[in-house]
């Protein structure tokens, strides 16, 4: 059976509001979707911004104690020496992404103790 858009549109024009409401419910059930989701997302985008829950920690400068900063980056990221050195050498660079605010602030404090300049975004 071929998809006939015109006949479907003609059928919808003849349907009552109750028939259309039942059709929407049946489609939602059959395909596991919600017709209200796009409306809610559009409403949230137009309203107040939601509180930020994920943060990125960016190393902006290694400062004078580059070796100490590399050691700290290795410790907090679990990267090898070469990768950690690459992040520090190529600053500004993101050290960790999508972490909680508390974790981001702890990481910032730890890196700043070594002399690095860090930004939480």
Backbone torsion region of residue 58, taken as left when φ is above 0, otherwise alpha when ψ lies between -120 and 50, otherwise beta? beta
Q: So what's the pLDDT on residue 121?
A: 87
pLDDT in tens, 28-59: 888 887 766 554 444 555 545 567 788 888 88
Res 49: pLDDT: 53
Buried b (16+ CB within 10 A) or exposed e, 76-109: beebeeeebbebbeebeeebeeebeeeebeebbe
Contact of 55 with 102, CB cutoff 8 Å: no
Residue 39 has what pLDDT?
47
What's the confidence (pLDDT) of residue 18? 86
Tell me the mean pLDDT per 10 residues along the chain, length 121: 82 86 86 65 51 84 87 87 87 86 88 88 87
Say if CB 69 and CB 88 are below 8 A apart. yes
Collapsed DSSP state (helix, strand, coil) of residue 28 = helix
Q: What is the pLDDT of residue 36?
A: 66
Tokens standing for residue 104: 């981001």
């Amino acid at each position: 059976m071929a998809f006939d858009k015109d006949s479907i549109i003609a059928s919808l024009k003849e349907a009552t509001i109750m028939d259309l409401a039942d059709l929407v419910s049946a489609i939602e059930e059959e395909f596991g979707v919600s017709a209200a989701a796009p409306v809610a997302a559009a409403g949230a985008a137009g309203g107040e911004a939601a509180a930020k829950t994920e943060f990125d920690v960016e190393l902006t400068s290694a400062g004078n104690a580059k070796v100490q900063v590399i050691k700290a980056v290795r410790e907090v990221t679990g990267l090898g020496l070469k990768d950690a050195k690459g992040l520090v050498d190529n600053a500004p660079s993101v050290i960790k992404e999508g972490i909680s605010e508390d974790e981001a602030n702890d990481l910032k404090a730890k890196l700043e103790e070594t002399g690095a300049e860090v930004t939480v975004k």
